[in-house]
Structure 1
Amino acid sequence: MTLSAPPTPSKHDPRRKSLAQVTAENKSHGLKKKLTAFQLLLMGVGTTVGAGIYVMTGTAAAEYAGPSVLLSFLVAALACLFTALSYGELASTFPVSGSAYSYAYISMGEKAAWTVGWLLLLEYGISCTAVAAGLSGYATSLLSSLGIHIPEFLHQSTFQPVPGSDGTRLSVAWRFDAVGFIAIAFITWLLVRGIEETARFNTLIVVLKVGVLFLFMIVGFKAIHPSNWHPFIPPSKGNFHYGVAGIFRAASTIFYAYAGFEAVSTASSEARNPTRDVPIGIIGSLIICTLIYIAVAAVLLGIVPYQQLNVADPIAVATRIMNKPWLALLVNIGATIGLCSVLLGLMYAQSRVLLTIGRDQLIPKIFCRVHPKRRTPWIGTIIIGAIIGLMTATMPIDIISDLVSIGTSAAFGIVCFTVIWQRNKHPDTPRPFSVPFGGIRIKGIWIGFVPAIGIGFCCVMGFPLIANMIHSLVGGNAIPLLLLIIYSTLGVLTYAFYGRKNSSMAPHNKKPLSSK
């Protein structure tokens, strides 16, 4: 029985898949459908609560916002909320793997899908690198407190910003962040073993790390000095340092820390009831994580003057000021193990996006090979684990953190736009969950309030990052902009010389899908 044939491409019709076609493909993916709504919620929380609070909060407060970083978290969360609602509608409408990549393929065609997929790979890959760098800092601190001292050249990246250069110069030495590399290797091994083992490990870790954060808040509440919150918005020093501009700059810096909720959408193929459970996991985890972020940041900034927080382990600094060695030990344990769950969620999401893109033959099919026993995309997971491990060991977090926020804001903006596109092109498609508050029609085109505001917020998040790259370029540091240009060019060339020719939607590769 023929379900549907791919749409015939024409001058005005991009290669675009039908929902029936993608659904049929997902039924033959070979993965286990084992994840419940609660496990998806924990996946979102586990992937989100990590570097944003354990690592980047201190840098964002010290460099850009001061105590008003609390407002930065709200701004970033609000930007993510509109995207999360858009994700919720798309996930319920298209309960398929591949997240925004698949949504774009169904709605706008192959070129848009490739653009989104390439952005997602940037987002997840560099997020993993940044998180692993933070994990390395906390793990080194933990081992040091236990009397095990890791040599500096084994827990620092090969490239490091020169102190006092404002990131415009880098030093190169015989350094290799082996701690971060080993962490990536462990998560890769766990993901290869299977989704059930991964989910159980994630549940245990989430309970542990959230419990440690609540303990930190309870104990730290008594050590708060309200004077550390004043001035709440430090006077501006220009170039997004403090003031109102600093709030938005800090928000754009920590924006990627919220990207974990998005990882839930990549689990549709392994969810028991994706139409209902995936939206719950996406929106629920975002709300929970925002409350945790703001509460922990408020206590942290009440204990430590924000000028002292430009470190890799800000919460550990707070415990030392409180003179609570036992709490410092627990925080280090919670952060070290907790950041593992962030790596787990991000690498899981990336491997599933790669699986879907590989299945569409836009990249080599080796990325979509599923282990016959473990039923995981094991080869692709190992390859991406090796790449991320090497990036962690060599690249400094200062350079790469802005790149992932750019990728995140661009991908989120496209997701919001996809909702508008889909509503106009296919208004009668059943939508178990719809974005609230409706929209307006301009010359017959429906524009939803939620997705439109989400696009606006993504532009606001991206502007300071681009401006900062230009400032760095003028100051003599072309590396961030150069990396972005290289990555973008590589994406264009990969699609032009491999993906377009080998795509399953290419005229010489298209075959009608059948179901027996």
Structure 2
Amino acid sequence: MEDAGMELEKDKFSLGGATLYGINAVIGSGIFLLPRTIYKDLGPASLLAMIVDVLLVLMLAVCFAEVSCYFSKNGGAFQYSKAAFGNFVGFNVGILGWFVTIVAWAAMAAGFAKLLIQTFPSLEGRNTLISILLVLFLSIINSTGIKTSKIFTITITIAKLIPIVAFTLFGIFFIKHGFNAGNFTPFLQLNPDMSLSKAMASTSLTVFYAFIGFEALPIVAGEMRNPKKNVPKAIIGSISVVSFLYFMIIAGTIAMLGTGILQSNAPVQDAFFKMIGPAGKWIISIGALISIAGLNMGDSMMIPRYGASISDEGLLPKIIGKKNKKGAPIVAIIFSGLVTVAFLLSGSFEQLAELSVVFRFFQYIPTALAVIFLRKKGMNTEPAFKLPFGPVIPVISIVVSIWMVAAANPINLVAGVIGVIVASGLYFIMNRGRQREDDDVDISED
């Protein structure tokens, strides 16, 4: 038994592997498609919105980094919210998080099929079939245990980084060309229908979409070696790498295309084409396909473990957390895969996917608040990483998050409120007749 436990521990992600997992969880195909949307309201000044987002994401990331030091199990924001605010808040954060990640997986699976067909037109008309086969294939891979999932994740992350790093390196040399060509002037090209503040908020929300996924790493903390020390390092490391790559992709695309971004359906591909010729467009197209495949791989591993973590804490039926001989949460894998397939067959996920940014803040804001509350609770363990300046960074993170949420479509905000009401109702229905449990969590039992 001891040898088996050591073998399972060896199969888990090291610090380097965890960092690659974090990078994979963030970088999808979105960054290849977003430059036009990012550029349209501010012009080259959208790079400032990028910097604002990087600062916000880093602030939120370090909030996750600190609270992750107290936990060595799966669940991420769900575990932090439950420990800080009790079962009710934790359940809401967990259920809404699980739901929105399943919806996002359906969107990513559909996105993979769409990109695959664009790259190989002979597959036209098989969108849904390709998406479903992808979900089933990754669910099977996930059910074989963390070792196989780890190998696939690390391999596909390295593969997706090759074209991105190549574009970045070439982009550095072409920045000067962009200035000489006047592609960065005037620097501020404000949309005449928007105020500067609204344009910044709208652009920042769009940019933020490309960073979604950084919260996935702590959700699978239980699959990392020495998670209390390695997860905080991996969070900060992965976000730092992604932030630099994203900034250079946007800057390089502006340098090559300027206002031509607004006329391009594939701006990064077109920019790389101008840098190195026809091969550039093909390299980025394949890179985008690998990127979204990697995102699907990460989702297939993270989503079932999110649901299983809620079950393990006694807030969902125990059967959902059941594991097979390989240590994989097999019931949650099957359930998550089937719900994802159901969304793909219904086609309704596309509208729901638009809510993903707003719903993610139901994870980010409670986690930032948890930093403050868990400190006050006097945790038994001194965190390996602790934010400086007391509550300043969590408070700023919360304020800026609320500012960004306020810029979202009001319909999405209403849907978010409805989501909370439904989740709350589900909590009370599932807990009816049960004795009230002590919400205080003894971290020493973690």
Do these two structures clear the TM 0.5 threshold for a shared fold by scoring above it?
A: yes
Change (3 A) 1:199 1:299: same
Cross-structure match for 1:462: 405
- Report the count of equivalent residues: 430
Change (3 A) 1:462 1:326: same
The answer to whether structure 1 residue 197 and structure 2 residue 129 are counterparts is no
- Is this contact kept in 1: 2:183–2:256, CA < 8 A? yes
Q: 2:378 aligns with which of 426, 432, 452?
A: 426
How many Å apart are 1:321 and its aligned residue?
A: 5.8
Matched letter for residue 238 of structure 1: D
How many Å apart are 1:54 and its aligned residue?
A: 2.4
Q: 1:255 aligns with which of 208, 214, 237?
A: 208
Give distance in 1, aligned partners of 2:164 and 2:204: 21
- Is this contact kept in 2: 1:129–1:391, CA < 8 A? yes
Q: 1:78 aligns with which of 55, 58, 72?
A: 55
The within-5 A match list for 1:141-220 is 141-144=118-121, 148-151=122-125, 154-155=126-127, 177-219=128-170
**TM-score, structure 1 normalization:** 0.75
Give distance in 1, aligned partners of 2:260 and 2:428: 48
- Is this contact kept in 2: 1:236–1:244, CA < 8 A? no
How many Å apart are 1:183 and its aligned residue?
A: 2.9
Give distance in 1, aligned partners of 2:245 and 2:433: 45
Structure 2 regions of 5+ residues with no counterpart?
Answer: none
Give distance in 2, aligned partners of 1:61 and 1:284: 27
Per-residue CA deviation, residues 289-324 of structure 1 (Å, 9 max, x unaligned), is 000000011112223355655877543344456683
Q: 1:58 aligns with which of 36, 45, 52?
A: 36
Change (3 A) 1:35 1:214: closer
Matched letter for residue 254 of structure 2: L
| Further displaced range: 84-93 or 258-267 | 258-267
Cross-structure match for 2:422: 490
The within-5 A match list for 1:75-154 is 75-144=52-121, 148-151=122-125, 154=126
Cross-structure match for 1:238: 193
Give distance in 1, aligned partners of 2:375 and 2:170: 49
How many Å apart are 1:435 and its aligned residue?
A: 1.0
**TM-score, structure 2 normalization:** 0.86
Matched letter for residue 311 of structure 2: G
How many Å apart are 1:200 and its aligned residue?
A: 1.0
How many Å apart are 1:32 and its aligned residue?
A: 7.7
Per-residue CA deviation, residues 378-418 of structure 1 (Å, 9 max, x unaligned), is 22112212322443465578744541111122311110101
Give distance in 2, aligned partners of 1:396 and 1:507: 37
Q: 1:384 aligns with which of 314, 336, 341?
A: 336
| Further displaced range: 84-93 or 480-489 | 480-489
- Is this contact kept in 2: 1:256–1:408, CA < 8 A? no
Per-residue CA deviation, residues 438-494 of structure 1 (Å, 9 max, x unaligned), is x2xxxxxxxx111111111211221101xx235xxxxxxxxx567545533431221
Matched letter for residue 364 of structure 1: P
Per-residue CA deviation, residues 44-63 of structure 1 (Å, 9 max, x unaligned), is 0111111441233433334x
Give distance in 2, aligned partners of 1:482 and 1:307: 36
Matched letter for residue 351 of structure 1: P
Q: Give the helix-richer structure, 1 or 2.
A: 2
Give distance in 1, aligned partners of 2:213 and 2:337: 18
- Is this contact kept in 2: 1:137–1:312, CA < 8 A? no
Change (3 A) 1:191 1:70: farther
Cross-structure match for 1:42: 20
Give distance in 1, aligned partners of 2:353 and 2:45: 20
Change (3 A) 1:390 1:336: farther
Q: 1:267 aligns with which of 207, 220, 239?
A: 220
The answer to whether structure 1 residue 406 and structure 2 residue 358 are counterparts is yes
Give distance in 1, aligned partners of 2:194 and 2:429: 40
